[in-house]
């Protein structure tokens, strides 16, 4: 059997094959099926390879007669480097055959930096037709513990240009690292779990590969530039970037003021009652106890921060004052170079209780800056009203559907807005499952103006004395975005900044599962899990 391997091309990671690889063609005529049993690349065993017959993937990893046979092998090739592949095969009659081929790599597109021994690959895909610049990406990685010594100083994220293959290191932030080391066998190996954040650039309707490199214990901690700045102490921090400056309340840590930069020097704030914060909720009212909001927290427990060049986060997690059975968490996430703030909150009711009000999603402003209110309708149109033209407190100004994509307080004369994008709202009862409450939004105004999301709310109804039961084990989650911005100058362009930002946030980039090389310690055969009873997996018919 006179057959040989011919190198077709060297390739860099791309969306179809997100690793460095070499493509080969089998030359010659086969008399029968030729099954691959082992592949070595530069003397190292490799199980990352793919066989195609006439362009069709062959899961049996075999070359077939009278077909166009191609082999793609993961090979972490370097520019201008020599590479040798050995392919051990077995013919149908049991005879062994070894194919070998050596070739030289091109002078560009090769491995980023061999000081980093390993990498995982992520394919980032843009599907909505928006050019994405600096889009936040968060990944959770599980890596063999003996391959990674100090994650924060060692990990690098590198974007691969989809046309040229040129690698470019991008700022990243490593956090949430932990090590598991309970057992070492064919079921489990010691593993380091890390979270990695970076900002991705992906052109509209395309994809791009980002490689997460590790395995360099001598690496020094990177020093990335960032426009993200944090000052102050305790809860009263000031967080800013090139788009805004945000002041957090010194007692509660709630968002107190948002200063819009962008050549406006506009301040969005409240400062009219109680603590005066801009962001009030979550909140609960269960008479005879007083109405309490998360902004009423003083020195809340469970306080933590995470900081770095990509994002800064504050988190508060504790029972609300006077309500030990209402445990809340509020998380703010500020990004470098992004004009918005991500707000996440959770309400967990741990004991049965009865309430007049349980609310979330509230933003309260004085009327020194904002004059009008706009919202995205279900039919795609944008509604707009002058706030003072609506019914005044104590009557609700107007009601909005829970699925309203965004609303905004604005002033066309400056022109500026503070918009809120709704990304996710969910509720669940652990003891019964189904949730019968129907959350919504409403606009309200008096000396101030605000918009809130009632979850349970009889207070502002014709029968406000009703008290509604909330079961222990009820949980309410929300994720939204505060977006201070300049508006378009004309009527036609006024809300374009909000519309485009909301569309991107509500349709984020798609990220693939991280592709890692197959380590030699991974068993060659499938290992069944540890089960109470053994059973046979269903096989193919």
Q: What is the CATH number of domain 229-505?
A: 2.70.98
What is the rounded average pLDDT for all residues in the chain?
94
Mean pLDDT within 498-504: 97
Distances (CA, A) of 385 to 178, 250, 390: 51, 34, 8
Note the pLDDT tens digit of each residue in 271-307: 998 888 999 999 999 999 999 999 999 999 899 999 9
Residue range(s) of every CATH 2.60.40 domain in the chain: 3-104, 118-223
Q: How far is residue 218's CA from residue 116's CA, in Å, rounded to a whole number?
A: 9
pLDDT at 538: 55
pLDDT at 540: 57
pLDDT at 437: 74
Backbone angles phi, psi at 506, to 5 degrees: -80, -10
pLDDT band of 526, cuts 50, 70, 90: confident
pLDDT at 432: 75
CA angle in degrees (0–180, nearest 5) for 471-472-477: 90
Does the structural domain 118-223 have CATH classification 2.60.40? yes
Q: Which residues contact 509 (CB under 8 A, 6 or more apart)?
A: 124, 125, 126, 132, 135, 137, 200, 202
pLDDT at 92: 83
DSSP 8-state symbol, 20: -
CA R_g for the chain? 29
Q: Contact 218/153 with Cβ under 8 angstroms? A: no
Q: How far is residue 227's CA from residue 246's CA, in Å, rounded to a whole number?
A: 14
Residue 541 in this model has a pLDDT that exceeds 60:
no
Residue range(s) of every CATH 2.70.98 domain in the chain: 229-505
pLDDT at 528: 86
pLDDT band of 460, cuts 50, 70, 90: confident
Mean pLDDT within 506-535: 86
Strands (E) in 12-155, as ranges, are: 21-28, 34-41, 44-46, 49-53, 56-57, 62-63, 69-74, 82-91, 96-104, 118-125, 132-144
Residue 124 in this model has a pLDDT that exceeds 70:
yes
Note the pLDDT tens digit of each residue in 236-281: 999 999 999 999 999 999 999 999 998 888 999 999 988 889 999 9
* The CATH fold of domain 3-104: Immunoglobulin-like (2.60.40)
Note the pLDDT tens digit of each residue in 369-397: 999 999 999 899 999 999 999 999 999 99
Reported as type and span, the H/E element at residue 445 is strand 441-445
């Amino acid at each position: 059997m006179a057959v040989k391997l011919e190198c077709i091309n060297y390739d860099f990671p791309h969306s179809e094959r997100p690793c460095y690889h070499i493509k080969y063609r089998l030359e010659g005529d086969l008399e029968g099926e030729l099954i691959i049993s082992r592949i070595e690349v530069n003397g190292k065993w490799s199980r990352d390879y793919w066989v195609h017959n006439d362009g069709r993937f062959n899961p049996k990893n075999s070359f077939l007669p009278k077909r166009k046979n191609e082999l793609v092998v993961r090979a972490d090739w370097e520019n201008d480097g020599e590479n040798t592949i050995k392919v051990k095969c077995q013919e149908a009659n049991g005879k062994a055959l070894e194919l070998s081929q050596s070739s030289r790599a091109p002078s560009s597109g090769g491995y980023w930096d061999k000081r980093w021994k390993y990498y995982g690959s992520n394919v980032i895909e843009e599907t909505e037709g928006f050019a994405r610049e600096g889009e936040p990406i968060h990944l959770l990685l599980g890596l063999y513990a003996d391959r990674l010594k100090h994650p924060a100083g060692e990990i690098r994220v590198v974007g691969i240009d989809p046309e040229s293959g040129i690698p470019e290191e991008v700022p990243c932030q490593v956090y949430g690292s932990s090590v598991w080391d309970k057992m070492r066998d064919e079921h489990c190996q010691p593993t380091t779990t890390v979270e990695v954040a970076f900002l991705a650039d992906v052109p509209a309707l395309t994809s791009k590969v980002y490689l997460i490199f590790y395995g360099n214990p001598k690496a020094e901690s990177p020093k990335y530039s960032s426009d993200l700045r944090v000052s102050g102490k305790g809860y009263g921090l000031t967080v800013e970037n090139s788009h805004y400056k945000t002041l957090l309340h010194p007692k509660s840590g709630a968002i107190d003021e948002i200063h819009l930069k962008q050549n406006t020097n506009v301040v969005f704030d409240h400062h009219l009652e109680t603590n005066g914060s801009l962001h009030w909720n979550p909140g609960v009212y269960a008479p005879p106890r007083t109405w309490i909001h998360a902004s009423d927290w003083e020195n809340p427990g469970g306080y933590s921060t995470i900081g770095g060049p990509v994002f800064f986060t504050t988190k508060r997690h504790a029972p609300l004052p006077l309500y030990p059975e209402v445990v809340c968490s509020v998380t703010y996430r500020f990004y470098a170079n992004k004009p918005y703030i991500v707000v996440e909150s959770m309400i967990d009711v741990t004991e049965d209780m009865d309430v007049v009000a349980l609310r979330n999603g509230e933003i309260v402003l004085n009327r020194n800056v904002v004059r009008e209110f706009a919202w995205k309708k279900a039919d795609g149109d944008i509604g707009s009203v002058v706030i003072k033209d609506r019914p005044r407190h104590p009557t609700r100004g107007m009601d909005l559907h829970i699925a309203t994509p965004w609303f905004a307080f604005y002033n066309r004369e400056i022109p500026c807005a503070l918009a809120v994008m709704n990304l996710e709202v969910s509720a669940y009862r652990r003891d019964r499952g189904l949730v019968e409450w129907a959350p919504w939004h409403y606009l309200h105004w008096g000396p101030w103006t605000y918009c809130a999301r009632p979850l349970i709310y009889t207070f502002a109804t014709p029968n406000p004395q009703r008290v509604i039961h909330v079961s222990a084990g009820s949980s309410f989650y929300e994720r939204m975005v505060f977006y201070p911005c300049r508006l378009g100058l004309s009527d036609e362009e006024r809300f374009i900044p909000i519309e485009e930002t909301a569309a991107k946030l509500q349709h984020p980039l798609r990220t693939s599962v991280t592709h890692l090389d197959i380590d030699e310690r991974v068993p060659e055969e499938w290992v069944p899990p540890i089960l109470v009873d053994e059973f046979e997996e269903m096989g193919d018919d």
